[in-house]
Structure 1
Amino acid sequence: MHRRHFLRLSALGGSSLALGSLGFWSNVYAAPPTPGPSPYGALAEAPDANGVRLPKGFTSRIIARSAEVVPGTDYTWHMAPDGGACYPLPDGGWLYASNSETSPDGGVSSVRFARDGKVTGAWRILANTHLNCAGGPTPWGTWLSCEEHPKGHVWECDPTRPGQGLERPALGTFTHEAVAVDPVGRRLYLTEDTPTGRLYRFTPAKWPSLEEGTLEAARVSGDLHLGARVEWVPVSAEAPVAMQPAARVTTAFPGAEGCWCDGGVVYFTTKHDNRVWAHTPLTGKLVVLYDPTRYPDAPLRGVDNITVSRAKELYVCEDGDDMQICLLGQDRKVSPFLQVMGHKGSELAGAAFSPDGRRLYFSSQRGTNGRGVTYEVTGPFRAKAA
């Protein structure tokens, strides 16, 4: 992807994807969050017509179903929808890009919305890849799609038009899950979804090109609940760290999943211990932001994809458990925001806000019958931190 193409995509609204300026909390190393009431109120006792339990004032609609034509288009939606992100368009509309975690024909699709929310188009932006799980948006307007298998790579895609994307092998060959871009530090952070997965950091040789650069893995020391220290060890991009000598001196993050950067803090999750983490690159600190073992009645388990709202609330999707998206607020309370009913054996993924922050998109990857469902939730999302 040539530099002028990066600049063109950036002009489409990449500044909106800089992902905030205040961070999730002013001090993520203070007391950890505890279960508590949601700022949006309790979930409705009964699900709506789409099978979603929501707080009062919120509504849902189904945008697409796997193996069916997206309403308002002639495009058939992909199977196993997973990670996703939204992108603003010059005419006031926006796009939602969504991964397909299938093999052999994985990839990514985009769906286009007019400024009033009407669906006006959909298309494929990556095909013939394998198990495209999560990924992440870039500040210059592209989508980074991650392949979740041992020889997986990251593919950089233009969400605005049909295409194939470009493979970015410099970002590593391993079981990729998600990637977050820190526009201030000009680095990328990547998670690896294996029991011995690592947290990676990529420094481009020439920002914002991802063709060349330095790949490193985290080495952690100190108290994880009070604020540990992260150092970075150079590693080869040609194989997982677990297969390299660096395995002896780097730290495993078991089943690392979603990853998101906001205001100079990198948030990520690890499913095998159900933790939510916060890393501040500027200080080199890392802390366990949420640990359910401290709270027997903790509502959030099966942590997966994550995103941050305009109000600096962290939304975490559940893989299994009771199929909720939970909210970690600045009041340090953890609470359910929504719940999808009747989708046993599925997982929630792809949480992403529209550019104006008023709509939340997500998917149930396998739905009720093995076919995914992609939703939109609209309502009184808070516009700024309390």
Structure 2
Amino acid sequence: MERRTFLRAAVIGSSATAFSGSLWLGAAHADPAQPGAGPYGALGSADANGVRLPAGFRSRVVARTGQKVAGTSYTWHPAPDGGACYADGTGWIYVSNSEVEPSGGAGAIRFSSTGAITGAYRILSSTRQNCAGGKTPWNTWLSCEEVDRGYVYETDPWGVKSAVRRDAMGRFKHEAAAADPDRKVIYLTEDVSDGCFYRFIPSTWGNLASGRLEVLKMGSGTSGPVTWAKVPDPSGASKSTRSQVSGAKRFDGGEGCYYADGVCYFTTKGDNRVWRYDAAASTLALAYDDSLVTGGSAPLTGVDNITGTASGDLFVAEDGGSMDICVITRENVVAPFLRLTGQSGSEITGPAFSPDGSRLYFSSQRGTSGSSSGGITYEVTGPFRT
């Protein structure tokens, strides 16, 4: 996936609506985040793994494509992409997609309470170009196929239950998913230049076998109220899902998706934006837009995968750019948190925090080689704020 290498000169029709709720602090009508000093300080020199980190943080490599995960018989998959963490007794599990075609699928690494690797295994096979996805409140992983008329597969992070294809969630070029337990819906992004933003309303919360797929509708601006409309044919058999509802809002390359405290944040790579959907108020606004950065160059470009912390900070990975993971703080400041060196032919994927928030996992999809066979998966530990 290639990012645009120029800043847009778009005119924004109206200012962003307020950041509200416990996740964000700030003025009643905050503008999109602007560069500033991050909460962790400046990046240091590259460590032995080629990772630049703030003082007090350290990295380790936990897996490499084509090699056995340490102490296990599982060979780590190519092109590691979207990921999530799951509590596992006193330890945890990190799940990672494989964005290759035709084999795709997903794998997992199990960790003890001390962070030691205790297992690794496959949880999904024989699917196509599994890019991102999302974690459900009932502790399954939704692995999304980023192909035309792709599917969503519900998988078991423990690798015990067989994966299930969830046809009712629609067939389109899926990217990411985020569960909203308050409204009992799953939000979905679509990775095409004229894609849509969807929500799936299961017939029964906790069971994704059936339900209603809806698409977001809004005027031409970047902020304001939204509505939702049913997609008549989620299978996209006769017409693509994004073309079935008149007035569906278009988004330029939907990517990551993350829900917390009544708000769903999602990213679009074609215009380097982070969007903020306030589910309680049914409004949409911009949390970040690189073309609206003032007083210097934008620190975050190639906007891609996104996650967050209990402290209210968002962590956004770059596809290209400076190969950074940037933090957008609860104080509305955007700054680099880490940077990979010597990997300009790759992208950062799958950021996810361990259940206690003390460890950040992510991958360089193509590593130093620039090939899907060169993927590297990392862990970063340090004084993340809570």
TM-score, length-scaled by structure 1: 0.90
What is the one-letter code of the residue matched to 1:188? I
Q: Is the 8 A contact 2:32 2:292 kept in 1?
A: no
1:196 CA displacement: 1.1
- Structure 1 segments, 4+ long, off by >3 Å, are 24-29, 240-245
Tell me, yes or no, if structure 1 residue 237 matches structure 2 residue 240.
no
Q: 1:213 aligns with which of 206, 211, 218?
A: 211
| Higher mean displacement: 162-171 or 116-125 | 162-171
Change (3 A) 1:298 1:100: same
Q: What pairs with 1:347-362 in structure 2 (closer than 5 Å)?
A: 347-362=347-362
Structure 2: distance between partners of 1:110 and 1:28: 42
Q: What pairs with 1:312-323 in structure 2 (closer than 5 Å)?
A: 312-323=312-323
Counterpart in 1 of 2:252?
254
1:245 CA displacement: 5.2
Tell me, yes or no, if structure 1 residue 93 matches structure 2 residue 53.
no
Change (3 A) 1:337 1:219: same
Q: Is the 8 A contact 2:196 2:242 kept in 1?
A: no
For residues 273-328 of structure 1, give each alpha carbon's deviation from its aligned partner in whole angstroms, at most 9, with x where no partner exists.
00000001111000011111112511000000000012110000000111000000
Q: Percent identity?
A: 50
Structure 2: distance between partners of 1:114 and 1:279: 36
What is the one-letter code of the residue matched to 1:373? I
What is the one-letter code of the residue matched to 2:323? M
Q: Is the 8 A contact 1:124 1:162 kept in 2?
A: no
Q: Is the 8 A contact 2:320 2:344 kept in 1?
A: yes
1:164 CA displacement: 3.9
Q: Is the 8 A contact 2:172 2:241 kept in 1?
A: no
Q: What pairs with 1:51-62 in structure 2 (closer than 5 Å)?
A: 51-62=50-61
Structure 2: distance between partners of 1:28 and 1:192: 31
Structure 1: distance between partners of 2:358 and 2:368: 27
Q: What pairs with 1:182-193 in structure 2 (closer than 5 Å)?
A: 182-193=180-191
1:27 CA displacement: 7.2
Q: 1:374 aligns with which of 371, 377, 385?
A: 377
What is the one-letter code of the residue matched to 1:108? A
Structure 2: distance between partners of 1:25 and 1:74: 46
Structure 2: distance between partners of 1:306 and 1:269: 7
Change (3 A) 1:28 1:379: farther
Counterpart in 2 of 1:81?
80
What is the one-letter code of the residue matched to 2:284? L
Change (3 A) 1:284 1:29: farther
TM-score, length-scaled by structure 2: 0.90
SS of 1:139's partner is coil
Counterpart in 1 of 2:115?
117
Change (3 A) 1:345 1:285: same
What is the one-letter code of the residue matched to 1:190? L
SS of 2:209's partner is coil
Structure 1: distance between partners of 2:123 and 2:220: 43
Tell me, yes or no, if structure 1 residue 67 matches structure 2 residue 66.
yes
Change (3 A) 1:247 1:122: same
What is the one-letter code of the residue matched to 2:225? R
1:218 CA displacement: 0.7
Structure 2: distance between partners of 1:314 and 1:327: 6
Change (3 A) 1:363 1:244: closer
Change (3 A) 1:63 1:335: same
SS of 1:78's partner is coil
Structure 1: distance between partners of 2:242 and 2:362: 36
Q: Is the 8 A contact 1:29 1:287 kept in 2?
A: no
Tell me, yes or no, if structure 1 residue 328 matches structure 2 residue 328.
yes
What is the one-letter code of the residue matched to 1:232? W
Q: Is the 8 A contact 1:24 1:265 kept in 2?
A: no
In structure 1, the gaps of 5 or more residues are 1-20
Counterpart in 2 of 1:18?
none
Q: Is the 8 A contact 2:257 2:305 kept in 1?
A: yes
1:221 CA displacement: 2.6
Change (3 A) 1:28 1:192: farther
The aligned length equals 359
Q: Could you say what the CA RMSD is over the residues aligned between the two structures, in angstroms? A: 1.6
Structure 2: distance between partners of 1:177 and 1:245: 18
Change (3 A) 1:245 1:86: closer
Structure 1: distance between partners of 2:149 and 2:160: 25
